[in-house]
Each structure stands twice: as structure tokens, then as C-alpha cells.
Chain A
């Protein structure tokens, strides 16, 4: 299993541009999450999904959108990029069964908006 994969690893955007961060998992996990990590800080939840076709906002959703058309993929869309969106973005997935809460993280996408 590849686990959770993210592309691209790095990206520089100009203010006002848009882009999609890709996330895929091959563990058949129902739950998927997007977090952002600012320098010296913990991770904050942007959006999450409990299954294909179901998404909802986290703590810091403004400026982002998501979709979940399949169990495997959970892309994050940035519209009209702003300097405040400069951050490292992590995607994670988690199984749904029973009391299993473990979240497995991808390697991250480092985004700079200038």
C-alpha cells in the first residue's frame, strides 16, 4: 500500500491564482481530512469527509473548497490565493470501523503565495 499520497510537494502561487491540491489513499478509509500547518504551530482542520459525496467544514474553511466523488480521492481547491494561505497542507485518512480513530498522514504540500 502507498498509504496517503499528496501532490504536488511544493508550489508557489501568485496572489489571485487558483490551484488544486491532490490527495489519494489506497486503504479504503471512509474518513478523510485536510489540515494546514503554519510555522511553529499545530495542525488546524480545514475540511473533512466521512465518505464519498459527504463533506463538511472544519475550523478554518474560508478560501477553500473540497469534493469527494470517490472513496480514494479528496482534492482541496484554493480559489483566489492569498498570502494568508501560505502554509504546509496535510491530508489524512482514517478507518471508520468500530473505535478505530487512527489518522494516517500524507507527506504534505508546501504552498507559498506571493
Chain B
């Protein structure tokens, strides 16, 4: 089955700096790669996603890049703000069968004011 590894496990940046979180996946059949933000005591919330026919996607201060050959994808947050502090999860899925997500282990991002 699919295996998703995520790095780093914790990341501390100064407000205004950029943050980058990286994930690798194992199943070449995976073709959907979402990123979720989880705030304390809440469920994961989708912030951006990318499909395998696209190399990069941007939404205001966040962007995701995908390298299918190397089987890795990354989340980039620019001009970080204190409200970006949360746990971020990457995930991977394929369009066959159950379409369930395989999650990475999460990155705790702390933005220092």
C-alpha cells in the first residue's frame, strides 16, 4: 500500500518568513495530493491540493509543487503570519477503489511574532 513520509516534524519561523514542508510517497498510482491544516481541537481542513497532471498550484500565500518522477511534493507558505501556526498534514490518494487518503505524520508549524 501507499506510504507517505513528511518532514520536518516541527518547524519554527519568524513572522514574515517562508515555510516549506516536504513529503514523499511510494505508490506511483497516486494522483491526488492534498494538504490539510489542523488547529488545536479541530478536524483537518483542506487548504490546497494538486493532481498529478499539474506541477505547481498557487493560492495567495500558499503553493504546492509536485515532482512525479521523484515522487515528492511540497507545501510552501510565504509571508507567514501567527495564524498560520498549526499542524499541517500531507496526504496521497489514487482514483481507484476506496479513494481513501494516506496521511503523512504531520508538521507542527510555529510562527513567532
Contact = CB atoms under 8 A, between A and B. Distances in A.
B105 A41 contact: yes
Interface residues of A, number: 25
A105 B45 contact: yes
Given A102-B46, A105-B43, A94 B103 contact: no
Contact of B101 (A40, A43, A106): A43
Interface string B32-60: 10101000011111100101000000000
B100 interface: yes
Residue among B93, B101, B102 with the most chain A CB within 10 A?
B101
Interface string A80-114: 00000000001000100001011111111000000
Contacts of B42: 107-108
Contact of B106 (A42, A50, A108): A42
Contacts of B104: 42
B95 to A, nearest CB: 7
A26 interface: no
A41 B45 contact: no
Interface string B86-104: 0001010101001111111
Given A48-B98, A99-B95, A42 B45 contact: no
Given A101-B32, A106-B43, A107-B42, A43 B89 contact: yes
Interface of B: 1, 4, 6, 32, 34, 36, 41-46, 49, 51, 89, 91, 93, 95, 98-106
Interface of A: 4, 31, 33, 40-45, 48, 50, 56, 58-59, 90, 94, 99, 101-108
